Structure 1
Amino acid sequence: MKNDLEKIHQAVSEIEKVIVGQTPLIWKVLTALLADGHVLLEGVPGLAKTLLVATLGKTTGGIFQRIQMVPDMMPSDILGTYLYTDGKFEVEKGPMISANLVLVDEINRAAAKTQAALLQAMQERQVTIMGKETFQLPDPFMVLATQNPIEHEGTYPLPEAQLDRFLLKLLVDYPSKEDEVHILQNTHLDRRDRLADIHPIFLTEEIIYLRERIKAEVQVEEYAHRYIVDLCRATRNPTEYQLSKIEGTIRLGVSPRGILGLRDVARVQAFFAGRKFVYPEDIQRMAKDVLRHRIILSYSAEMEGVTADEVIEHILNEVPVP
């Protein structure tokens, strides 16, 4: 385990050559990678969301593709289409079919029909072109999507079904004052090719190996399973856990997919800590990132300015820790 952890720390250091002041964010993205999940990054423009994903793509050594979403983009632009040439139809594959890591930039600038084209790929790891031919996607396969906050002009909210396909929703905030000074002093960011000095740390086969090793070696005891279930059930039925303060604030709670996701990332967090057992703090550390986009607040709660993070914080504070 020690050598694998050293390599993961090396990957973080490599990414930090160009991504300054976002160390916790980098670790969470790597958590999703090793938990075999997709990530939604939300933040205002200019916070290096796209650069982070591009750097991760080079660090992991797989095939990287970037899709810039625009309002007039069609599903065929992502998945592929059939072209008639030399008297026959031939498949022109889209950028998703051959990539290990796909950056979907500004996903909420595309219309709902195009957003929906991602669903099959994210869940089933395969795509069907124009309802005719199905292609298996490579392993590993990961979608990292960036989006601007909904209140920004020209954006479309993601449908609930698509939000649930993302293992994590990570909020990207402004760096600290000192980190912004370091950004100005970072010579890598002055170059036209900012990734010129970024080197691959992993082979794709190593990522698959690490995923399987974490599943096999890091144990999740029954008390941890029950704690995960209690946290997620509290979003669906607060009265079952005497959470009267948030009763009526949640219109739709966390699905079983969210329960599985919280277990998977907690296991990776335990691995990062050099442990073979999941502790409650592993679960608590990732709870907001796994659950915030799976909780649909009631209309009255939205009007009062209640956030999903506030609801999750209350649940974490009130549900007994085993």
Structure 2
Amino acid sequence: MSIAEYFRKKHLTFITLVSWFLLFYIIAALVFWFISLETQNKQMYVFRVSELKKDDPTYYNKVLEFDKARRLKSFQYIGEGSTFLCLILVGAVFVYRATKRQIVLSHQQQNFMMAVTHELKTPIAVARLNLETLLKRKLEEPQREKLLRNTLQETNRLNELCNNILVSAQLEAGGYRLNRQELNFSQLAEDVLDDCVARYPQRIFVPAIQTGIYVEGEQLLLQLLVSNLLENALKYSAKDKPVQVSLEVEGKWAKLSVADEGAGIPDEEKKKIFTKFYRIGNENTRSTKGTGLGLYLCKKIAIDHKGSIGVKNNTPQGSIFTVTLQSV
């Protein structure tokens, strides 16, 4: 555990203890005032009854009136006290959850900044080194092509990272307007897959894409969705393991599935992975690249296209991500 994480947990523990202390103090004060008011109510009842003359013909009627007034006051105190208690409990839970959520979000944003810094520096450093090598040395044509191809791959990584960040910000702020049109989803998936094959020639891809599947949506966003799913599968599976890509129609729905044979995702993490900035593990010990935006964008894009996305376990190991969109 890093020093920053240690102090972050201590900070959260301190806030939790203070919140519980204030909550118990407020509840204790509320109970104290209820007991005080109820005691005063009974004393007033006894005092008013003692002021009556027992030989008064209306004595018993007045006693009943005083008792009724006392009971009404008691019901009033109970009702008001219960209402305030419920409001206090609801408010305390809301404040605690909001504070905890803010701390978690701040932690995720710090992880995101660390990941983005690493993601930006690595391709820039590689591209710069390749270009300096090309300038300073006279290389054979195959070596030049290899360096140029490697540099192009790194610039593509930068482009995808920038696209993820920009599109995420625009979708989050509601500033991205979908340009819906009828698209050949089969061709779109094949094009993205071909681009991935060209960028990762050493990886194994097993395509099973049914032709002639059309959906209505934004081409750039759907390309980003397919690309992010493929990048995610490549990141979290061994280089000698295949990545299976399938697209088929079931009724009125087009189903895109990307399956890997990686380590898989624990059941308790399956819902969290679609959260913004969320990544399994710790940013300091995590070996895979990423920013925690890819799967978040996939879910956002799928929902904006009136579809859905889910993940399940693969056999014998790994994960299968499935996107369901309405076909046309």
Q: TM-score, normalised by structure 1?
A: 0.24
Identify the structure with bigger relative contact order (alpha carbons < 8 Å, sequence gap 6+): 1
Q: TM-score, normalised by structure 2?
A: 0.24
Write 1 or 2 for the structure with the bigger share of helix: 2
